Structure 1
Amino acid sequence: MELWVDDSFFNGRSLDVFITKLRRHLKDDPQIQIIDIRGDWI
């Protein structure tokens, strides 16, 4: 039984939450920089 036909929204939001937590955890290290790339870059 499927609850959602297209779960890409939920997977995308999960990644956003993960990156937010990762940034919060690594914010004090000046050598680490996470850069957002938006759009069709693939």
Structure 2
Amino acid sequence: MGVGVAIGMIAVIMLIALFLVYFLRGPLNSEDAHTVDRPPDDKD
């Protein structure tokens, strides 16, 4: 195994991690948006 293989493995792992973060953050951000939309009612 050479350095290139190690770098390639790290790059693939990082890409998978980024995809997981985006997939997990997507639904969370949607819920956060709904939660943030509610407080303005208090301002009224």
Q: TM-score, with normalisation over the residues of structure 2?
A: 0.49
Q: What fraction of aligned residue pairs are identical, expressed as a percent?
A: 14
Q: Over the residues paired in the alignment, what is the CA RMSD in angstroms?
A: 2.2
Give every structure 1 segment of 4 or more consecutive aligned residues whose post-TM-superposition deviation is greater than 4 Å. none
Any stretches of 5+ residues in structure 2 without a counterpart? Answer: 36-44
Any stretches of 5+ residues in structure 1 without a counterpart? Answer: 32-42
Higher RCO structure (Cα 8 Å, ≥6 apart)? 1
Give the paired residue count. Answer: 29
Q: If each structure's helix is expressed as a fraction of its own residues, which one has the higher value?
A: 2
